[in-house]
Structures are given as structure tokens and as C-alpha cells.
Structure 1
């Protein structure tokens, strides 16, 4: 069959038009895909929370700026330490699982100042995005450029704050990091469950599973300034100067005054969940990290900075017991801002700075533990709630793609069971557990080692209402 030339030209024109339309459609599709928000883009960002609180450290050092960002929906967050000019730094890593960005570069011992900022973040490996985001913000804001002697350098480390700590996998991302950087200001650091320490914990090796956070301390000797910062997400237990464990959900027959030496001396028995007859366990992934920074304004050589990092990091084994296990990823950065020259008139040797910083770091470790922990309300055996009211609470509540809670009414009692891939803290997938009324809309379970409560409000349920609450939304009525 032969096609006339005019008809062929017509077909070719039609084909070309179809190709243009196809390309246009693909371009529109790509544009729409890129315009679609990611899963975290609409999360409310809380910036510099706790800066005005009583627990915040206030100090005078214009060279050092701090910014924090938090996603309360996690909860999780990050902390940015930005320096007013490029500074020198060294790093010391301990434990079996450090997560860092650009830390290896600091080990090369170059004498010229190159570091701009340090980012400490939650979110495990995903939180490492925060460090590179701060670096690109320095370029985007015109603070740094592309010339070889003006390229931004930001290092960062992360803690593991997923698993048994919360029922979602929200992480500190680029948006949160850049907001925190641009809001950074000098002279204040919030201690406790803020910033990178928002969902930190400590003492998991003994089953304490106590809430933790970030801490800081500051001292000035003459013209020499020393500041230390730490995010305590340790497998070991925080220990005070009298040897007492600072925070712990204790086993059944544990002593009122709990010494770290008691737990350490009783190992390996004290590492087991049924030690002293306690059977109520709550599994936590053994992935922990304490990430720390020590900063001085005195000039230091690369060798002095490295020794400072090692000395202070080693000293932390007093305040965290045990320290630097195979399940910890401990990292410490030592920084000199080079504002005070060593020599005549500055009679504080680097070793003495290390001694002072080591003691300050113990203060910072203690300051990291927040005073408010999760509490459990008491069940009221005389409270009678009508069945019609209880039926309003029935349904399946979704916390994330892997965690849901199913609430049913059985024999006039409210029961709950985890219906997702994972347990919902004390409510497991093993079978339904009775909910005991504390108030009309607040319920708890039989008292165990770890506190637990749920609060029903409309189509949502709040697990452990308060500072570390988790919110589930009803997706199905039973």
C-alpha cells in the first residue's frame, strides 16, 4: 500500500503534535510530582524552645551561637552550634556505632581554621541530613561561597531516638535544620528534653529506660572561656557525684537509693529484665549514643585539641555508667575559637583546661536529665463509666504506618490491643489488656515497671499525655 505524499506529511505533523503533547504532559506530571509536599513538610516546627526556661544555661560568649529545632509530632529535634568565624576542631569517637558527617576530616590535623558549625541531631541516620542542610544554608545565605578558602564546613552527629521511644519515624530534616541555624543566637542553651535531646533516654542496659535530654555547663577562668554541651542518649545510667543513679524506672524490689555500683557489681544478672523478680518488661532497641562538644576560646594546636577531646571524653565514664559500649555511638568534638592567644598573661595550660572541662561535662550530663518524667495515674475502683460513654472510645487508632491501637468493649470493660506491626508500649500484640479508668476519659493499666496511660478526646487517643505524648487518630469504628 502506498501513501500519498500529502497524507504522509499530514501523518507526520499529527505525530509531531502528539509528541509535543506527550512531552508537555510529562513535564506537567514531573512538575506536579516535584510540587507534592513530602510527609514532613506540613509539620509544625518549634524553634528555640526552652531558651527562656529556668533550666536554660545563660552565658556570655558572642562568638558561639545556638539554635534548636523540634518536631513535637515526633517528638524529635536538633541543635546547631554556629561559630562567628571559622574555628579549629578535633574529634574523638567511642563506642560501637557512631553516626557522623565530615568527622573524619577533623582527624587530619590541619592547622588552619575551617569549621563553621556543629549539628547534633535525633533521627538516627536520617538526621544526618541536618548537617549537610546547615552547610548548604551557609552558601544559600551568602555567608560562605565556592572559592577554595571560603567553602563552608559543617560536621554533625546523630542519636538513635526511634524504636521504643516513640510510635513514628519523624526525623529532623533539612527544613528544621535551616530554621534552627537562621534563628541561632549567643548566650543561651536549653537543658533537658530540647533540641537533639528531645526524645533521648538513658539507662536502658539495666531496664531503667529513663527520659534524658541535652545538657550544658560554662566556666570562665581569667580570659579563658570553656563551654561544654552533650546529648545524653546513653545505654548506661546517668550517675551523680555520690554514685547514685539519677533517674530510673526501678525493678520490683530494687533499693530506694540506687547506686550505679550496685547495678554494675550485680552484672550480668542486673542486665536481665527479670532481675529481682521483675517481669514487666518494655523492650528498647540497644542503640544509643552520647554526642558532646567542648569549646574553649584559647588557641590550641591540633595535638592539644585532640588530647582535650580524649581527656574530656574519657572523663564522661564517671557520669555515665557503663560508658562507650558496643551499642553506643559516642562522639565528642573539641573546638578552639582562637580568640585568646596562649602565652604571657594566659597561664592556663591545655591540660588544666581539660581538667576543668571534664568536671564541667559531668555537670552537663546531670543537667541533661529533665525533672519531668512520664507518670501513671491511679485507677479509681469506684468510678463507674456508662457503657454508652465507653462505646464512644471504641475503634482503631493509628499512630503511624506500623503502630495502631484497637480498643474494644468486652463484658462491660474497655480493652486495648496493639494491631499494627509493633507494640504500643505496654499494650502489646500478644492479646487484649484491660484499661482501668482513672477519670472518665483517662485510663491506665495494672501498675508495672513502666508508666502508661491513655486519654480519649474526640477521634484521637493520647498515649502518656504530657511531654512525650503520642497521638493516634481513629481510622475505624469497631
Structure 2
């Protein structure tokens, strides 16, 4: 397989749009060693990570030159986006199921025109703010002179967003114009990173039952003769991801929940199971009522607008098997169906459109399962024999800022560290107005009394890292006690 390098691209100064576009394109092709990291000083200064995960073990690889993928991430969020770019204009349809979809140009696809017009699809985090990425990808087509202003050559990009703010991170960084255009220009065929990458960087699932499990984006591919079918999804669902045996794939379970948790256990216990404190669990914050699963199914078989619309409906409906419940009032579920029109149909065709829908529906379940990372946030155990000297504890004391919304103040009280949320919002398991003792796991890593949701703190000079690892949040010291 071709070796791919994930890239970090620093922002381009205001030097004129044409030159800026040229430099940003060059940036997307530079080796990572040639690009310096920058400290996060506002959104415009955030380093952009392009095509992360393309060489991961979980990435899907497939042979389809017509379809190119690009991803962009701001790790300081973390948040990101995923761009699906087509080698020529294609036909598309859309099916919206959730109660709160966020889209750009999706309504146009409902008109059912025969003429191929779609250039790309953008899937993005950042809630409504992430919709900027959709129009930014479209203007990049014009800036790069890939498309123009003539009526039959105007670029058309559609897209949808997920909600990835709130309790899952301590800032409101969103995928923006710069990130979208870098990802579009870096798109390449034959690879899609599964898991917490791209638009799925801070996705979660199972919030309706308090599972609050980390999720991501997933994909699957199948070729039947000359016909190719690919499916992609960003699983940020209110419901739980469920495997083919009915098991809940990932969940921070209540204290006395069964070890082998079934989705039916939770569904049958509703409405009690969706209430905070159900089943005697005190640490149950309930659901964040902002969720979305955004998906795409692509085939190279030529399809009429009516066939594409049925394909969208059929595959979208099938997703209720792998996500339970699905398409709720608080989800914004949207699915795009695309035909690249590379395989013509005729009287002797072997794969009717309905059968493509059957195959794609099963692939979509594979994609849903592939979206959930195998490793979730974990919590270390405190070391009861570890006694740290006072000078070490005093070195950690101070106020650390994660964003204008969140601050954590660490103080020394009675020979031990205590953490308090002193900003506008809670810092995960450290709630405003309720200081929590910190328990030493190692010399620089601390935790709290174990509860339903994992939590740990790592001190690193003038930085503090909450839940070190894939979804870590970094705070910077603004004052010392």
C-alpha cells in the first residue's frame, strides 16, 4: 500500500487569495517534519492535521479512482471534517430522518434532476458553525479553476454536520473554511480512516441511556462484478451502537448493569432507562439532546433519480438495526445516495437497484460497527502507597484555562491536591461548586474516586491534560497559587 503521511499545516497569513490558495495547497503536500507546531492562540492559529489515520490498521482501502477522500482535524478541539470528492459531476439523492438535520444544498437534491451536478460531499463537526466547511469546499473548486461561473459548470457541494460540543469537550473550536479547503485539496482515492478521525473526531453514541461512549466514522466496501458499492457514516447517535447479536458495542455502564448488555435490555426498560439515576446509579447525567448520524452510500451503477431516492430510503431505514433507537426527535440523521454513472444498465443487467440496496444496507451495518473505536477513555487506579512531597504538590497548584468557557483551579489542602471548576462550566467529573480531591496514580498523573465515567489529570509543566490520550483536553496555566 502507498505510504501516506499525515500532515500538520499552519495557517496562511493574509497575503491575497490567489497566493494564499497556492501556499495552502503546497502546505497540504509538505512532509510533516517540515511543518512546525504552533500553540493554540485562537482558531486562526490552530495547526491543521490533514489525512490523519490513512495508514491506521482500521482504515478501509479500496480500488475506486472516481472517489477521493480527504480529512481535516483540529486536534485542539478535537474536531474535524471529511470530504468525499468525485472525479466528475455525479447524480445524488438525499433522505432526512432525524428531528434536527443540519445541511447545505440538500433540498436541491430532492428535486430529482437527471443531469449530474454534484461535485463533493462534506461531513463536518462543529454543529451549525461547521456548515461553513461545505460552502468553503465549493469556493475552493472555483478558486482552483476546477469549476467556473458558466451555468453548466458551477460547482455544487452538499454537506451535513454533527453536534460535537457540550460535555464531550471544553471548547467550541469548529471545522472552518481553511480546514475544509485543505482537506479537499489533499483528497486521494482508495482509503477511508475508520474510528475517531475526520468528522467523527469527537463523535459519541448512546447518550440516551447515559452510555456516552466514544464513537467516530466508519465505512465498508463491496464489489459485485463491475458494480462497486461503498458506504460511509459518522455515528454521533443518541442511540446505542448494536452488533448483529444484539449486544451494545460500547457503553460506560451503570454500576449494576449486566456484563453482557443487550440493546433490548435498555429499550424494554424505557422510559425508566432514559432517566438520570435509573437503576440506582447516582452519576448519570442523562443525554445531551443534540445528536446526528450522517451517512453516504455510493455506487458506480447508473441510476435514475427515483432509484437513487429509493436507495437512500432503503439504506437509511436499515440503520435502525445497528443503532437503537434511531432517527429520534433529537437526532439530525441524513443520508446521501450517489451514483457515479460508470456502469451502464440495460435489459441484461444482473444487479437490480433494489438488490444494490440490500447489499448496501448490510454494508452500512458494517460501517456503523467500524465507527466505534476499540479503545475508549480509561481511568488509572490510584496508588495508595505513593506519597508525594509538598514541593511537588505546590508545583502543580494553579489555575489552568482550557478555553473562555472552562478553567480548572488546583490547590493544596491538608497535604493533598484538590480540583475545582472555576470557569463557566463543569470540567467533566469536576462539577462547578463541588471541589474534588485528586488521588495520585503516578508522580504526575492523578485521578478521582472512581465513578461511572473515567477521569484523570496529567501535569506537564505549565499544561494540564484531562484524560490523556485520543480525546484529551489541554489547559494552560494562567496563574499560580
Give TM-score scaled by structure 2 length.
0.91
Matching of residue 339 in structure 1 with residue 342 in structure 2: yes
Structure 2: gaps spanning 5 or more residues: 1-13, 21-39
Corresponding residue for residue 65 of structure 2: 62
**89 and 186 in structure 1: CA distance in 2 versus 1, 3 angstrom threshold:** same
Distance 1:379 1:347 in 2: 62
Matching of residue 222 in structure 1 with residue 225 in structure 2: yes
Distance 2:110 2:439 in 1: 56
Distance 1:417 1:280 in 2: 18
Corresponding residue for residue 189 of structure 2: 186
Corresponding residue for residue 265 of structure 1: 268
Matching of residue 92 in structure 1 with residue 92 in structure 2: no
Give TM-score scaled by structure 1 length.
0.92
Say whether the 8 Å CA contact 2:238–2:287 is kept in structure 1. no
Of 276, 282, 290, the match for 2:293: 290
Corresponding residue for residue 165 of structure 2: 162
Query: CA offset at residue 285 of structure 1?
Result: 2.4
Distance 1:320 1:171 in 2: 26
Query: CA offset at residue 273 of structure 1?
Result: 2.2
Of 52, 55, 58, the match for 1:52: 55
Distance 1:109 1:355 in 2: 22
Query: CA offset at residue 345 of structure 1?
Result: 4.5
Say whether the 8 Å CA contact 1:163–1:284 is kept in structure 2. no
Corresponding residue for residue 276 of structure 1: 279
Say whether the 8 Å CA contact 1:95–1:329 is kept in structure 2. yes
Corresponding residue for residue 463 of structure 1: 466
Distance 2:130 2:342 in 1: 31
The alignment partner of 1:41 has SS state of: helix
Matching of residue 211 in structure 1 with residue 214 in structure 2: yes
Query: CA offset at residue 351 of structure 1?
Result: 0.4
Matching of residue 202 in structure 1 with residue 201 in structure 2: no
Distance 1:266 1:412 in 2: 46
Matching of residues 230-379 of structure 1 within 5 Å: 230-282=233-285, 285-379=288-382
Say whether the 8 Å CA contact 1:215–1:231 is kept in structure 2. yes
**175 and 191 in structure 1: CA distance in 2 versus 1, 3 angstrom threshold:** same
Distance 1:241 1:225 in 2: 24
The alignment partner of 1:312 has SS state of: helix
Of 412, 428, 437, the match for 1:425: 428
Distance 2:109 2:189 in 1: 24
The alignment partner of 2:139 has SS state of: helix
Larger radius of gyration: 1
Say whether the 8 Å CA contact 2:400–2:476 is kept in structure 1. yes
Query: CA offset at residue 281 of structure 1?
Result: 2.9
CA displacement 1:13-67 (0-9 Å, x = unmatched): xxxxxxxxxxxxxxxxxx99x99x9932211111000101110000000000000
Matching of residue 434 in structure 1 with residue 434 in structure 2: no
Q: What count of residue pairs does the alignment treat as equivalent?
A: 446
Distance 1:346 1:177 in 2: 39
Distance 1:226 1:346 in 2: 16
CA displacement 1:105-140 (0-9 Å, x = unmatched): 000010000000000000000000000000000000
Say whether the 8 Å CA contact 1:282–1:450 is kept in structure 2. no
Say whether the 8 Å CA contact 1:164–1:284 is kept in structure 2. no
The alignment partner of 2:296 has SS state of: strand
The alignment partner of 1:293 has SS state of: strand
Of 422, 440, 446, the match for 1:443: 446
Say whether the 8 Å CA contact 2:207–2:286 is kept in structure 1. no
Corresponding residue for residue 101 of structure 1: 104
Of 155, 174, 178, the match for 1:175: 178
Distance 1:282 1:433 in 2: 17
Say whether the 8 Å CA contact 1:240–1:366 is kept in structure 2. yes
Distance 2:255 2:276 in 1: 11
Say whether the 8 Å CA contact 2:123–2:161 is kept in structure 1. yes
The alignment partner of 1:352 has SS state of: helix
Distance 1:379 1:278 in 2: 22
Distance 1:313 1:258 in 2: 25
The alignment partner of 2:133 has SS state of: helix
Structure 1: gaps spanning 5 or more residues: 1-30
Say whether the 8 Å CA contact 2:276–2:286 is kept in structure 1. no
| 322-331 or 40-49: bigger deviation | 40-49
The alignment partner of 1:243 has SS state of: coil
Corresponding residue for residue 121 of structure 2: 118
Task: Give runs of ≥4 in structure 1 deviating > 2 Å.
Answer: 281-285
Say whether the 8 Å CA contact 1:249–1:450 is kept in structure 2. yes
Matching of residues 372-411 of structure 1 within 5 Å: 372-411=375-414
Query: CA offset at residue 477 of structure 1?
Result: 1.0
Of 455, 464, 469, the match for 1:452: 455
Distance 1:237 1:333 in 2: 22
